[in-house]
Each structure stands twice: as structure tokens, then as C-alpha cells.
């Protein structure tokens, strides 16, 4: 067993880990910093929706992890397994221990495929797919689709890029029009929530998109299991305080009700986001909430991003219990707060004045050549970029926003965000 000490130890080499490390190195080059992450590949996952819609190349979303690790930062190619915050120690699967002055926890989320009965078996078929797992398979499934019930859904758990499942549905509508099967397709978007999007005015714009595309919106539909043999997906009726489950037989979906509140819907293809959580080594650790609505997620102050019980630990990104969307745009606003606070603590033991307001954004692609940019902060309050909002009405699907999504954002990600300059 080996042991090494770092001024800053970062758990996770995704967007949050790389960006934070790069910003720290730019501001204080004499820091000893390491990133603990076993992966060899670094993916630009926001483009995977476009890959599935056959408008982006999968290989262009990948870089070698070693190529994006900032110069001067050690890459520990191991899996973290255990946190010992009282000893300022992290242990790894290889039996090694690493100590730190400050710890940053940002390992992202894990896909819990087995939390949905039947899903693992269903994903082995040619009818069930997920952009979160394999966008190229999604493209193949849609290419082979000949009509029937095309069901798009998302889980009740928090997920990264919460708008991605509905983006997949919007692009599928146009994909099916191109392949000539849309007129014999019942395209369903089923969500456990009460509305398509929680922030106004984006909600109204998206409701208009759904209406124009003739997408069947099913609210309060929580996916609970899938039967790949019978080709049925099961939903629990999730409207609070209402056990009176009703289906609309006029929609021609051939739904049926089993028991008091289980809806069974036959499918000819399904796209879904698997249930997600913080990685096991986080949710079973002393750093996570032990109970309550945030159980299993990293326990941090929502404004300072400092751990609530361990002052030299900070968290950001998808694993953190923050009441906002889990997106790269959110991380772009979180990283400077973590950096400023750690540098201030190194200087005088205090926190900086930097605060995170909950900013996040969701580039909602509504079709080929159209996108609206939903920007918001805590409490579902709209929070538009001052420059963009002067030039565009980002609450409406625009061609200019599509250009931003397809060309500008990938360039900014690799050349600015990963370099710590944005």
C-alpha cells in the first residue's frame, strides 16, 4: 500500500473535476493537485442526443482522459472506495491511501439499471435504448422502427441533463418524418412530473412544441418496470393525493390498468433514462445525507458548496445535493465558487464572498435546426445570460440556438471550459 499527500485531492475526472483543477492551477500554480478517476475516456455527453438523431459523429464526443487532465495535475487511475474525513484520507480499490488538505468530491452519477425490473434484459433487445448509455444504438433502433407506440420516458430519480429525454422525443418526431413512419406512429412522452418543464416561460414554449408535433404527453407516469417479452412498459400513477388512475382510450395506445394504479402500455420502441444516483462509494459514505429527501447525495451548502460537517471538503456537479438541474452549465458556475473558497481557506482559513445562485441551463433541442435555451436558478426562477438575452429571445426555438448547441458549445467545452478559462 502506498500513501501520498496533496494540497487538493479531486474525486472524479469529468467536467467538474477537470474544470476545477484547471482553474486552481491557473490561479495558484504551486498547488499539488491530483484527480482520482480510473477512466481512459472523456466524453462530451451533451452531444449524444445529436448523435442519436444522426446529426453528430460519436467519435467527435471523445478525447483521451489524459489529454484533458491539466498540466501539473496528477492523474491517479484508480477507483475511490472509502472516505475517512476525520483522517483527511481517501482509500482506493487498489489498496492505496491518499491524504489531503482539501478534498473536492465530484464523481458524477451512476446508472442504476437494475433498479427498474426488466430493464437490463430489455436493453439487450432491439427495441429499447437510451442516449445515456449508447446513443448509436438509439439511432439504430429509430432507423429500424416501422411504426406503432414509440415511448419516451424518464425516471422519478434526479438525472443528469433532465431535459435530455424530451429532447430525444422531439428529434425522434422529425427523424420519423424523414424515414416516412411518423403518420403511423404514436409518439409518447411520459413523465413522473406534473408539467413538461418547471420554469416559465420555457414551459409554455415546450407545450407548444408538443402540441405542434402531436406528441402524446403523459404526466404523473412514473416508469416502474418493463417486460421485454410482452413488450410492455409499466407505469405507476404518481399524482400526489390522487389514486384515481385514468387512461385515455381515444389515444389508441392500447393501455390498460392493472390493480389500482399501475398503467401497462405496449411498445414498439422505448427510449428512457435509467434511474440514477450518486455513486455507491459516495451514497454509502459519511459525506452523504443519511436520510431525508436528499438521502445518498453529497451533503453540501447550496451556496458555498462546502460540506456541512467537514470544512475542508467541497462538492459540486451531479453528485451534489443541489436543488437545480444537473448540467455542465451548472458546473461552469459552481467551479469558480469552489476554487475561490479553497484559495481563500488556504490564505486565511475563511470562505470567500463567492456564492452559487443555483444557475443551470438546458439547451432544449426541439428539432433539426431549432433549440431554445432554458436558463434558471434556484426556485425555478428564470436567469438569462445578459448578453444572449439582449440578442435573442432564448425562450423560443431558434436556429441561432441550434448553431450554439451543435458548433459553439462543443468548441467552448474543449477549448475553454476544460482549460479553466471559462
Written as one string, the DSSP assignment of 136-177 is HHHHHHHHH--SEEEEEE--SS--BSTTHHHHHHHHHHHHHH
Q: Which residues of the chain have pLDDT under 70?
A: 1-2, 387-389
The residues facing 262 across adjacent strands are 236, 258
Catalytic residues: 161, 362
CATH class of 3-109+278-357+410-417: alpha beta
Distance between CA 298 and CA 279 in Å, rounded?
10
* pLDDT at residue 259, as a whole number: 86
Question: Positive or negative, the Cα torsion across 179, 182, 188, 189?
Answer: positive
Domains 3-109+278-357+410-417 and 113-275 agree in fold: yes
Distance between CA 320 and CA 297 in Å, rounded?
6
Q: Do 315 and 106 form a contact (C-beta atoms < 8 A)? A: yes
DSSP H helices, 266-363, are 280-283, 328-348
* pLDDT at residue 35, as a whole number: 98
DSSP, collapsed to helix, strand or coil, labels residue 124 as coil
Q: What are phi and psi of 419, to 5 degrees?
A: -95, -5
Which of 88, 94, 106 shows the shortest CA–CA distance to 13? 106
Which helix (H) or strand (E) element contains residue 64?
strand 62-64
275 secondary structure, DSSP code: P
Q: Do 106 and 12 form a contact (C-beta atoms < 8 A)? A: yes
Burial class (CB in 10 A: 0-12, 13-18, 19+), 7: middle
Query: Radius of gyration over alpha carbons of the chain, in Å?
Result: 22
In our burial notation (b when 16+ CB lie closer than 10 A, e otherwise), range 92-119 reads beeeebbebbbbbbbbbbbbeeeebebb
* pLDDT at residue 394, as a whole number: 82
Q: Cell 433487445 appears where?
A: 125
Domain boundaries, given as residue ranges, for the chain: 3-109+278-357+410-417, 113-275
180 secondary structure, DSSP code: T
Domain 113-275 of CATH type 3.50.50.60: yes
Distance between CA 174 and CA 110 in Å, rounded?
30
Enumerate residues 6+ apart whose C-beta is below 8 A from 183: none
405 secondary structure, DSSP code: I
The residues facing 363 across adjacent strands are 373
Amino acid at each position: 500500500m502506498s500513501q501520498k499527500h496533496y494540497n487538493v485531492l479531486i474525486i472524479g475526472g469529468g467536467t467538474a473535476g477537470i474544470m476545477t483543477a484547471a482553474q486552481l492551477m491557473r490561479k495558484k500554480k504551486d498547488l499539488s493537485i491530483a484527480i482520482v478517476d480510473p477512466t481512459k475516456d472523456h466524453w462530451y455527453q451533451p452531444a449524444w442526443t445529436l448523435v442519436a438523431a444522426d446529426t453528430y459523429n460519436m467519435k467527435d464526443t471523445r478525447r483521451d482522459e489524459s489529454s484533458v487532465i491539466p498540466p501539473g495535475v496528477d492523474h491517479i487511475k484508480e477507483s475511490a472506495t472509502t472516505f475517512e474525513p476525520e483522517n483527511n484520507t481517501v482509500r482506493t480499490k487498489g489498496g492505496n491511501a491518499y491524504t489531503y488538505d482539501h478534498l473536492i468530491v465530484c464523481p458524477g452519477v451512476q446508472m442504476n439499471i437494475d433498479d427498474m425490473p426488466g430493464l437490463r434484459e430489455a436493453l439487450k433487445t432491439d427495441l429499447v435504448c437510451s442516449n445515456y448509455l449508447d446513443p448509436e444504438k438509439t439511432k439504430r433502433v429509430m432507423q429500424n422502427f416501422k411504426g406503432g407506440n414509440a415511448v419516451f420516458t424518464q425516471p422519478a430519480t434526479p438525472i443528469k441533463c433532465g431535459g435530455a429525454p424530451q429532447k430525444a422525443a422531439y428529434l425522434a418526431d422529425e427523424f420519423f418524418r424523414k424515414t416516412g413512419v411518423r403518420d403511423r406512429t404514436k409518439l409518447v412522452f411520459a413523465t413522473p412530473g406534473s408539467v413538461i418543464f418547471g420554469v416559465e416561460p420555457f414551459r409554455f414554449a415546450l407545450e407548444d412544441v408538443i402540441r405542434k408535433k402531436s406528441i402524446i404527453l403523459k404526466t404523473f407516469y412514473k416508469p416502474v418496470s418493463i417486460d421485454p417479452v410482452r413488450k410492455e412498459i409499466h407505469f405507476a400513477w404518481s399524482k400526489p393525493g390522487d389514486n384515481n388512475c385514468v387512461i385515455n382510450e381515444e389515444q389508441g395506445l392500447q393501455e390498460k390498468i392493472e390493480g389500482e394504479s399501475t398503467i401497462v402500455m405496449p411498445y414498439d420502441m422505448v427510449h428512457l433514462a435509467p434511474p440514477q444516483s450518486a455513486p455507491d462509494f459516495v451514497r454509502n459514505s459519511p459525506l452523504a445525507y443519511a436520510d431525508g429527501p436528499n438521502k445518498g447525495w453529497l451533503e453540501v451548502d447550496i451556496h458555498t458548496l462546502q460540506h456541512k460537517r467537514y470544512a475542508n471538503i467541497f462538492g459540486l456537479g451531479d453528485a451534489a445535493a443541489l436543488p437545480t438541474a444537473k448540467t455542465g452549465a451548472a458546473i461552469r458556475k459552481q467551479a469558480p465558487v469552489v476554487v475561490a473558497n479553497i484559495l481563500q481557506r488556504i490564505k486565511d482559513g475563511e470562505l470567500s464572498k463567492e456564492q452559487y445562485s443555483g444557475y443551470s441551463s438546458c439547451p432544449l433541442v426541439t428539432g433539426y435546426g431549432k433549440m431554445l435555451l432554458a436558463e434558471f436558478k434556484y426556485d425555478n426562477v428564470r436567469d438569462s445570460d445578459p448578453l444572449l438575452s439582449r440578442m435573442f429571445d432564448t425562450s423560443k426555438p431558434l436556429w441561432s440556438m441550434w448553431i450554439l448547441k451543435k458548433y459553439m458549445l462543443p468548441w467552448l467545452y474543449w477549448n475553454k471550459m476544460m482549460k479553466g478559462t471559462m
